[in-house]
Structure 1
Amino acid sequence: MEMKKINAGKLRAIGYDARQRILRVEFDDGSAIDYSGVGADVWSRLSTSGAAWSFYRDNIEEEYAGKRGRVLPKEKSSALEDLFKTPGNDGKKHD
């Protein structure tokens, strides 16, 4: 699911899986909620809203069943580590 970063109220990112009709909302405290059964029209209105926090509170939070979770940090490759690697050394142990 591709996430769209936003800064609206406590919202930090939103994403939508049209095939499964799941809306994911990520918050500033690192928590996330996946809402099932969300139509593409609701996603479209949320993702283009100039007041996404208010739209979320009024049209999603109480209207859909949500499953709470945590946002997993993305694995980052260190640019400095990559820069100073010995040529031919990928940093992995080989037997």
Structure 2
Amino acid sequence: MTEWVSVSSTAICRIGYDAESMRMYIDFKDSDPVYTFCRVPENVFREFISARSVGRYYHQYIKDRYDC
């Protein structure tokens, strides 16, 4: 089951995570599809949703690293 968390960000509405499949989902404000990221460790999801800057965390630790 996917856990969704709303975040405070200028670019991201909410972030979802399914621990069983290790898939993370990002719902960007300015794009239609929800993006899927594969083989994401749960600690990365937890750090992401609690990051001081969600956008900065995305660019430093997620973008181009967990493509399906």
TM-score, structure 2 normalization: 0.86
Aligned residues: 66
- For each residue in 1:29-58, what CA deviation from the matched residue of structure 2 results, as whole angstroms up to 9, or x when unmatched? 233111000001101110111111110111
Identity among equivalent pairs (%): 20
Question: Equivalents in 2 of 1:41, 1:4: separation in Å?
Answer: 15
Matched, 1:47 2:49: yes
Match of 1:25, as an amino acid?
I
Q: Which runs of 4+ in 1 moved over 3 A?
A: none
Q: Which has the higher contact order (CA 8 A, sep 6+)?
A: 2
Larger Rg: 1
2:39 matched to 1:37?
yes
Q: Is the CA contact (8 Å cut-off) linking 2:7 and 2:49 kept in structure 1?
A: no
Task: Report 1:1-95 matches (<5 A).
Answer: 1-29=2-30, 30-66=32-68
What is the alpha-carbon root mean square deviation over aligned residues? 1.2
CA distance in 1, matches of 2:10, 2:3: 21
